[in-house]
Amino acid sequence: MLLQPKRTKFRRVHRGRREGAAHRGTTVAFGEFGLVATENAWVSSNQIESARRVVTRYTRRGGKYWIRVFPDKSVTKKPAETRMGSGKGAPDHWVAVVKRGRMLLEMGGIREDQAKEALTIAGHKFPMGTKIVKREFLEGETMEMGKKAEMRAQMADSGELVEGMDEMEQQPEIEGGADNAADVPATEEGGSGEHKESE
């Protein structure tokens, strides 16, 4: 499900500027690894959703992820082959204004190689350059890993292979929750109620 605000004060807003660097949301605050923007850009809700699907695939093995940007700016568009004038166009899609240094995604509770692989693929979904950063923990501070991630780390260290582990990763259990439910394709019968109301 694409991200967009429930309601805004104004439906149509000015384009604004994309210069400068981010002053807030620039550190890894929740997880262990983060994806940082190195350029200024507008990130659409479709691009955020594409990156979310990538990290969901990896965090099902026993980790968590956090999306640190939200598309709250509407971008308008006028219909094709329309004459000039007659006001501003209707809202077409939603974007998040991202400045360089802004944290886009965070991951935690999984191995470093898995996190870097997931964030590298997720970085390709964004329209600007990105880099992966690692959280520096204070003395005595640690990051808790999920049960599946701990099991995989122990297997990697000992060189053992638990039977059925690969099947469990290929066919993950879909539990009740918004994150996993969004990856299940909706059929015509089980689609969202918005289409039924509009008909």
CATH number, domain at 157? 3.90.1170.10
Residue numbers in the chain where pLDDT is lower than 70: 1, 61, 137-157, 159-199
User: Does residue 59 lie in a domain region?
Assistant: yes
Using CA atoms, how far residue 90 sits from 1, 13, 79, in Å, is: 21, 11, 9
The answer to whether position 166 is within a domain reads yes
Residue 181 lies in a domain: no
For residue 7, being part of any structural domain is answered with no
- pLDDT given at position 198: 44
pLDDT tens figures, 9-30:
999 999 999 899 999 999 999 9
Residue labelled with tokens 């968590």:
64
| 192 burial via Cβ count (<10 Å: 0-12, 13-18, 19+) | exposed
Question: Which residues constitute the domain of residue 125?
Answer: 17-77+88-136+144-173
What pLDDT sits at residue 46? 95
Rounded to a whole number, what is the largest CA-CA distance in the chain? Answer: 70
The whole-number pLDDT of residue 63 equals 86
φ and ψ at residue 94, rounded to 5 degrees:
-115, 145
Inside any domain, residue 83: no
Q: Which two tokens stand for residue 115?
A: 């996190």
Within-domain flag for 196: no
The Cα 123–Cα 131 span in angstroms is 8
Is 182 within a domain?
no
The CA-atom distances, in angstroms, between 68 and each of 35, 52, 74, 96 are: 10, 11, 18, 10
Burial class of 101 by CB neighbour count within 10 A (0 to 12, 13 to 18, 19+):
middle
SS3 percent helix, strand, coil of the chain, rounded to 5, is 30, 20, 50
Q: What pTM was computed for the model?
A: 0.69
How many domains does the chain divide into?
Answer: 1
Residues 6+ apart with CB under 8 A from 97: 16, 18, 42, 73
Could you give the 3-state DSSP secondary structure of residue 1? coil
Burial of 153 (0-12, 13-18, 19+ CB in 10 A): middle
Tell whether 199 is covered by a domain.
no
